[in-house]
Amino acid sequence: MSRAIDIPVAAGTIDAHVFTPGSADGPLPAVVLFTDIGGLRPCYHEKAQQVADNGYAVLMPNVYYRDARGPVVPAGQSFRDPDVRPTLFQYAGRLTPEAQSRDFAALLECLDSEAEFADGKIGVVGYCMTGAFALRMAAEYPGRVAAAAGFHSANLATAGDPNSLVHVVGGIEGRVYFGHADKDALLPPDQIARMDEALATAGVHFTTELYKGAAHGFTAKDAPSYNATADALHHKRLAMLLEETL
């Protein structure tokens, strides 16, 4: 139900994984799934497969391919370990808007060339720092991205940030859904309000939902903040969004 794939790009090779349902027939609507800051690991393989099982072909790239191939967090460790966190921040710091844009183009070329993916509109979903990636991809490819979702997104609308997503959402034509943790220090209420205002002003069809009692990282089964109830709701909302748009 999954296979590894290499995607050639100017900066190297994106190692990625393609997930499909066990009984897939023919090409399926495409979904790009970006991991959180922890990168590729078992809980995200499980997450991508669960999305695929609803009838989609899911492409999950290694966002850190410039620095490392495969998982970047050693087995038994996590983002919270002091000897791991600096490396992840260093890698993440290279994922500038320009770098993201180059990667988006390569990922779309992959969707257009691999047999699992149907032609036409796609969905994209991100977690933690990559909630912003999903929104940016929707803004840069309005004719292609029918649905963009972000869960426990981080730093979406920092005041005074010239790279804030509030400056690009006017280009979005697809649907947007955000599932926010209501106790998330990485996305305080003022940022949620700022992003909602930008989306509303731009006329984007969007939904913002607060997951009561959830903390940042509530969908990651390997995190202390994992919340099974909120995770189940996240899968339900994402399935509804993709079904209604793809």
- What pLDDT was estimated at residue 79? 74
Digit-coded pLDDT (tens) for 140-178: 999 999 999 999 999 999 999 998 999 999 999 999 999
- What pLDDT was estimated at residue 25? 75
Domain membership of residue 26 as a residue range:
2-245
Q: Does 24 have pLDDT greater than 80? A: no
How many residues appear in the chain?
A: 246
Q: What is the pTM of this model?
A: 0.96
Question: How sure is the predictor about 113, in pLDDT bands with cuts at 50, 70 and 90?
Answer: very high
Digit-coded pLDDT (tens) for 182-202: 989 999 999 999 999 999 999
- What pLDDT was estimated at residue 83? 80
Between CA 206 and CA 108 the distance in angstroms is 23
Question: How sure is the predictor about 78, in pLDDT bands with cuts at 50, 70 and 90?
Answer: confident
- What pLDDT was estimated at residue 85? 86
* N-terminal to C-terminal alpha carbon distance within the chain: 21
Q: What is the mean pLDDT of residues 56-63?
A: 98
The number of domains in the chain is: 1
Q: What is the DSSP string of the chain?
A: -EEEEEEEETTEEEEEEEE--TT--S-EEEEEE---TT-S-HHHHHHHHHHHTTT-EEEEE-TTTTT-SS--SPTT--TTSTTTHHHHHHHHHT--HHHHHHHHHHHHHHHHHSTTEEEEEEEEEEEGGGHHHHHHHHHH-TTTEEEEEEES--SSS-TT-TT-GGGTGGG--SEEEEEEEEE-TTS-HHHHHHHHHHHHHHT--EEEEEEEEEETTTT-TTSTT--HHHHHHHHHHHHHHHHHH-
Digit-coded pLDDT (tens) for 29-51: 999 999 999 999 999 999 999 99
Identify the CATH number of the domain in which residue 109 sits. 3.40.50.1820
Q: What is the mean pLDDT of residues 63-78?
A: 89
